[in-house]
Amino acid sequence: MALAIARDVVVEFPVYGRRQQSLKRSVLRAATGGILATDARDHVVIRALDQVSFELAEGDRVALIGHNGSGKSTLLRVLAGAYEPVSGSIRVEGSVASMLSITLGLDMEATGYENIFMRAALMGLSQARTRDLVDDICDFAELGDYIQMPMRTYSSGMLMRLAFAISTSVSSDILLMDEWLSVGDASFSEKAARRLKSRVDDAKIMVLASHDMALVKRSCNRFITLEHGLITSDSTSYPT
């Protein structure tokens, strides 16, 4: 079973270097981003998520909608386990695939082959499971003999092809994406799109943050709108 339940989730980031006098101000809404506030110790913080609650169940294809800084990426990172709420609770059941930073953990001095195992370990895959996948990853990335070369010798396109091949090598119960991934030249991009669609179809829950309204209308059946870290709407109809 796959599910994600958030109850009154608050995420705050401290702001350093402010004068003490400014710490006494009451909560202000920033023009962009989260809410400017003070915490229990009177420190200035940005409240990126403010009392966020929702439940995601199997079959949900969720679009996170909002301006830059509204809290979409922060919410994705909470679901991925990268950020811990300062209050409230988050419960996630099922395997999670995060497409938020597909180059995370890659070492430019290591070979492509070595990076497969390092990145796969960050994804929670065992070495035995990775060994089962490594040939498919190498074939998909189309790097040839470069797979045994240090990644500092790769072009940006080659690096992204390998990162994409690793990140999409397995299906997951919950798929998290910050914008729809598109990598490589025309021929590889078409292959990557087919792979990504397969992973989306396999996922029991998908959460996608995107500014591409045509994409989210086509891909999603639930629409959560965020503004200054607050959920302002949660609907099965695209907000007008």
Residues 200-228 pLDDT 10s: 999 999 999 998 899 999 999 999 999 99
pLDDT band at 16 (very low <50, low <70, confident <90, very high): low
**Average pLDDT of the chain, as a whole number:** 88
Answer whether residue 134 shows pLDDT above 70: yes
What angle in degrees, to the nearest 10, is found between the helix axes of 112-122 and 156-167?
40
Answer whether residue 146 shows pLDDT above 90: yes
Which H or E run contains 93? strand 87-93
DSSP SS3 for 6:
strand
Please provide residue 68's backbone torsions phi and psi, each rounded to the nearest 5 degrees: -60, 130
> Closest Cα to residue 120, out of 136, 135, 106, 141?
106
pLDDT value of residue 17 = 58
pLDDT value of residue 15 = 75
- Which residues contact residue 134 at a Cβ distance below 8 angstroms, ignoring those fewer than 6 apart? 113, 116, 117
Q: What percent of the chain has pLDDT over 90?
A: 71
pLDDT value of residue 30 = 41
What angle in degrees, to the nearest 10, is found between the helix axes of 127-141 and 156-167?
140
Domains of the chain in start order, with CATH, are: 3-94+209-235 (3.40.50.300), 112-203 (no CATH)
pLDDT band at 240 (very low <50, low <70, confident <90, very high): confident
pLDDT value of residue 179 = 87
pLDDT band at 39 (very low <50, low <70, confident <90, very high): low
Helices (H) and strands (E) in the chain, counts: 6, 11
Lowest mean pLDDT among 126-130, 147-151, 178-182: 178-182
Q: What percent of the chain has pLDDT over 70?
A: 88
